[in-house]
């Protein structure tokens, strides 16, 4: 089964049909998805800025990571649920879209980088070049996820 055949099948399911014809569902899902992504990005930003030495200097890196990184994981769960329902609603728009795949690749990389930063923050080593590089990569990945997610609406699916 090709991606487009799967998209056609998914679009014909009762769940997809319900979401498509119920006018408030897609805007509600998009709102929750975007607000949750903003919360996640803000949490990652706080950690990344602390690693870079420009934010929350009065707190240790470990304290900042312990406060903000736990927020990321439930946000990812909400994003998975709302994103999956948005895919069910309009599978052809998403599953055939290169921006969607860029977003997913960057998401996987951002999760790995966040895990590395968490491990680094819990260590006793001073902040150095590798951690700073990871913080910059983290910021770039999360920003790319946001932009790619937005571009799903504007790039033609294959």
The pLDDT tens digits of the residues spanning 14-56 come to 999 999 999 999 999 999 999 999 999 999 999 999 998 887 7
Give 89-133 as a 3 state SS string: HCHHHHHCCHHHHHHHHHHHHHHHHHHHHHHHHHCCCCCCHHHHH
For the CA atoms of the chain, what is the radius of gyration? 18
Give this prediction's pTM. Answer: 0.88
147-152 long-range Cβ contacts below 8 angstroms, 24+ apart: 148/99, 148/100, 148/102, 148/103, 148/106, 149/37, 149/99, 149/103, 151/99, 152/93, 152/94, 152/97, 152/99, 152/100, 152/103
Instruction: Using the predicted structure, report yes or no on whether residue 11 has a pLDDT greater than 80.
Output: yes
Count H helices, E strands: the chain? 7, 0
Q: What ranges do the domains of the chain cover?
A: 3-151
Across the range 131-141, mean pLDDT stands at 93
Query: Residue 125 — very low, low, confident or very high, per pLDDT cuts 50/70/90?
Result: low
Q: What are phi and psi of 138, to 5 degrees?
A: -60, -50
Percent of the chain with pLDDT over 90: 69
Comparing 25-29, 79-83, 117-121, 136-140, which segment has the lowest mean pLDDT?
Answer: 117-121
Across the range 124-142, mean pLDDT stands at 84
Across the range 11-15, mean pLDDT stands at 92
Q: Are 113 and 140 in contact (CB under 8 A)?
A: no
């Amino acid at each position: 089964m090709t991606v487009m055949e799967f998209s056609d099948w998914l679009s014909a399911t009762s769940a997809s049909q319900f979401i498509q014809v119920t006018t408030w569902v897609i805007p509600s899902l998009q709102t929750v998805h975007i607000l949750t992504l903003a919360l996640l990005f803000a949490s990652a930003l706080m950690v990344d800025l602390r690693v870079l030495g420009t934010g929350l200097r009065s707190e240790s890196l470990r304290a900042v990571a312990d406060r903000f990184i736990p927020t990321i994981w439930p946000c990812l769960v909400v994003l998975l649920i709302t994103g999956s329902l948005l895919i069910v609603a309009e599978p052809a728009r998403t599953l055939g879209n290169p921006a969607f795949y860029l977003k997913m690749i960057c998401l996987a990389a951002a999760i790995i980088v966040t895990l590395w930063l968490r491990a680094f923050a819990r260590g006793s080593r001073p902040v150095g070049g590798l951690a700073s590089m990871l913080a910059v990569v983290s910021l770039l990945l999360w920003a790319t996820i946001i932009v790619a997610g937005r571009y799903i609406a504007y790039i033609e699916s294959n």
